Chains A and B, each alone.
Chain A
């Protein structure tokens, strides 16, 4: 094979792999068994403080009003269902929302960390997205980092008097991108290339970019549409979810 033929062959394989398989990628869950044991434990430990904070915030909510238990459970189920729905796309591919930004805006980021962890367990055993050993890493990227940043951006846009819908859009899109960057970083830490962690991170980022960039924009749009629907039809329900209380603050 000449050098040029080799190049063409490899190029076509990479192209086919990226575009033939990519349509089936489910958000950014790190699969079971992909991380070495040490990293599984380390990411689990990193997540613990956030989960403890989330646990206390949920406990406080329940002490105020026992009724919140079913609302919290329903919110968790809602996040699960939203993140397991196939989102519309032009190419007929099969991709999913992370739903974390929506959850963070509606229920607050610390409650979402606990609900997100439970949802991730269910996604692992009911859908085989993600896994049990990678639960810590996935919890950190999808239930902690993403929601906290999304919520921060949302509040920031609110403070700067930017149109609320634009704020929601950016919160969801950037939250999604952040989740994806964190996941790539986690993979890079576990599998650094000879040139170092950052080169490896760039590699993982670019491999997942073709699917994640459009997904982030679509997720932003969809979150805005959901929020518009909610504001039009569901003022009292939003209040019970804690969304409007956050507004007043």
Chain B
């Protein structure tokens, strides 16, 4: 049960922090744009020192501004680490038919080797990706997905897509609740007794979830029509203005990143 709880907390926890974040009052468009700029700079510079700076500053903003506790933030950072470890491993190791590099392992048909360059490349990649992930968390922990959809709408993404995004966002939480109840019901009836039973349980929950979701879809459509839905799904948005000092702050930050990259070269 504990494991089960910890898992479900994934979707709701990031959303929860996004809704209570202090940065929520900042303009959504500003947040998306600055995240895009910082991400691009981080990728283009590809500089380990700049990446470390991004990891630290973004960590600080996430802890202070977004009000996430250190423990939870580290837990969140753990998610991408699995992929990054494996990915960096593949970059660090080279394959060749003869032994090269500072360390090589013979695997009968070929040699696995590590050289200084590949190791540095892997480390650099790891840091860059961690930096980018921290920036992603800055957006995820300060901007609820509905606000993100509104920003995309103001950037002239087709209305159909943003409407779908708004609805999917709402429906995700409804389906999560339903799935949680089904899971609890199944587990309390020994639905996870062994591997085979849990596979059947998973499949049946999946099937029933689809049936229920389609039934709910009909109900929601009726509800929407009875409230005057005619192919338009307007969403009320808070008006938040961008302050001049916020733009200056972003400019300064980018300047510092560029300076760090230039100096360390």
Interface positions of A (Cβ within 8 A of B): 6-7, 10-11, 14, 17-18, 21-22, 24-26, 29-34, 36-37, 40, 55, 58-59, 62, 66-67, 69-78, 80-82, 84-90, 94, 102, 106, 114-115, 118-119, 121-122, 124-129, 131-133, 187, 191, 193-195, 199-200, 202-204, 207-208, 218, 221-222, 224-230, 233-234, 237, 240-241
Contacts and interface: CB of A to CB of B under 8 A. Distances in A.
Interface stretch (B22-30, B63-71, B174-182): B174-182
Contacts of B211: 230, 233-234, 237
A237 B215 contact: yes
27 contacts: A6-B103, A31-B132, A32-B135, A33-B43, A33-B129, A33-B130, A34-B87, A55-B160, A74-B214, A74-B216, A75-B213, A76-B164, A81-B176, A88-B192, A88-B195, A118-B164, A122-B145, A122-B169, A124-B136, A128-B76, A129-B79, A187-B90, A193-B95, A225-B206, A229-B208, A240-B214, A241-B214
B134 to A, nearest CB: 9
Contacts of B220: 70, 74
Contacts of B215: 237
A126 B145 contact: yes
A194 B18 CA distance: 43
Contacts of A78: 175, 209-210, 213
B210 A133 contact: no
A37 B36 CA distance: 12
A74 B165 contact: no
A122 B216 CA distance: 21
Contacts, number: 274
Nearest to A239: B214
B133 to A, nearest CB: 5
Contacts of B123: none
B31 to A, nearest CB: 12
Contacts of A69: 163-164, 167, 221
Given A30-B83, A88-B199, A133-B43, 8 more contacts: A18-B86, A21-B81, A32-B39, A34-B84, A88-B202, A118-B161, A237-B215, A241-B214
A25 B82 contact: yes
B94 A17 contact: no
A90 to B, nearest CB: 5
A32 B129 CA distance: 6
Interface of B: 7, 10-11, 14-15, 35-36, 39-40, 42-44, 46, 76, 78-87, 89-91, 93-96, 103, 105-106, 125, 128-133, 135-137, 139-140, 143, 145, 148, 158, 160-161, 163-165, 167-169, 171-172, 174-176, 179, 192, 195, 198-211, 213-218, 220-221, 224, 231
B167 A126 contact: no
B82 A128 contact: no
Contact of A230 (B129, B136, B205, B207): B207
B229 to A, nearest CB: 8
Nearest to A59: B160
Contacts of B217: 70-71, 73-74
A128 B79 contact: yes
B131 A33 contact: yes
A128 B80 contact: yes
B160 A122 contact: no
B199 A222 contact: yes
Given A17-B89, A204-B90, A207-B90, A226 B79 contact: no
A72 B161 CA distance: 11
Nearest to A210: B86
B165 A86 contact: no
A119 B213 CA distance: 16
Contact of B213 (A36, A74, A126): A74
B216 A225 contact: no
Contacts of A25: 82-83, 86
A229 B203 contact: yes
A165 B106 CA distance: 44
